[in-house]
Structure 1
Amino acid sequence: MNDETRAPATHTGLGIAREFVRAVEAKDIEAVARTLADDARQLFMHTRSATTPDGVADVIDGRTRGFCVADMKGKREVLAYTRAIFDKFTPLLWRDHTWRVSPDGGELFFHGIGDMVVARTGQPYRNTYVIRFDIDEGRIVLMAEYGNAFMYAGLGVRPNGAEFQGLLRAMGRMVSPRLSSRSGR
């Protein structure tokens, strides 16, 4: 979709999501913090579908949902996770950025291919990501990141406290009558 033809509110949300991606790539934690609502949430949804063009379209159109493997709750946890990623990867970049904005501007999707190196081992990391951003009142309230979680787990990078808490919370989603482990919400 062409984001240039959308309403100003859409441009604002898209600008915030783009600023988040730029801040992560620049490893600028203060800039990341400025994009997040206090009650921000970041979900990590496992799906191998995000690695093909058709799979990316399926994620964006809701035909593929993935499975929640980590659930970061609150700005502090999201920032703790982000700081850990800064330490684990150098560089921390996505190639071939594409963006899609829903017609009503309510959903923003980022697609990018990771071009990263594990800092500890020098091993390349080339996961494919689709990230849905939900923006409210000028801040990110929810990010649902779709990718191959097994590829990340296979790197053998140790989770920090926030990541471990997010993994436990995702396990709780499996038995929760209120939260879904499949919806990305």
Structure 2
Amino acid sequence: MSSGGAVIERYIEIMNELDIDALGEILADDVVVRLPFAPDPVPKVTEGREAVLALYSGFPHLVGPLGFHDLRISPLAADGEFVAEYRSDTTMLATGEPYRNSYISTFTVRDGRISAFAEFFDPLVFLQAQGATVALPA
């Protein structure tokens, strides 16, 4: 695994432990995190390490350790860019409901730190685990 791939593996480990302090160690100062499918009020774009850490600091109050597994990392054509596929297996703390989702994420790793990250997941699975009801129109 390339050094960029190792940084992504470390990200997965950190999220499985919900160790937000350790997350700060692998983020670039100017990191940009995009969560384009995240439901409101989660921001779609968060810029800068401190802002990203503030966003992620809420995770330990929302979910148990994320249980990311089935990780596959593939380098892209551009140096330092990767796509990763993985799944989660955790519990929403407020509802006690299981939260199992599938993810495709892109990462840019620069100088051993994540400088950009975009995570794509099914927002309906996320909302249902929080107790929302999703129904097709009659």
TM-score of the superposed pair, with normalisation by structure 2 = 0.81
- Aligned CA RMSD, in angstroms, stands at 2.0
SS at match of 1:97: strand
- 1:133 corresponds to which residue? 107
Kindly provide the amino acid, as one letter, of the partner of residue 80 in structure 1: A
SS at match of 1:122: coil
Is the contact between residue 86 and residue 92 of structure 1 (CA under 8 Å) also seen in structure 2? no
Deviation string for 1:48-101 (max 9, x for gaps)?
xxxxxxxxxxxxxxxxxxxxx611111112111212112211132112111111
Higher RCO (C-alpha 8 Å, min separation 6): 1
Q: Does 1:15 align with 2:26?
A: no
Is the contact between residue 45 and residue 149 of structure 1 (CA under 8 Å) also seen in structure 2? no
Within-5 A mapping of 1:18-167: 18-46=9-37, 70-156=44-130
Q: 1:46 to 1:130 in 2, by over 3 A?
A: same
**Percentage identity across aligned positions?**
24
Cα drift, residue 137 of structure 1: 1.7
- Unaligned stretches of 5+ in structure 1? 4-10, 48-68, 158-185
**Distance in 1 separating the partners of 2:13 and 2:126:** 21
- Unaligned stretches of 5+ in structure 2? 132-138
**Distance in 2 separating the partners of 1:41 and 1:94:** 21
Is the contact between residue 44 and residue 71 of structure 1 (CA under 8 Å) also seen in structure 2? yes
**Distance in 1 separating the partners of 2:90 and 2:110:** 30
Is 13-22 or 148-157 further displaced after alignment? 148-157
Deviation string for 1:106-133 (max 9, x for gaps)?
3212211110100111101111111111
Is 148-157 or 115-124 further displaced after alignment? 148-157
More helix by share: 1
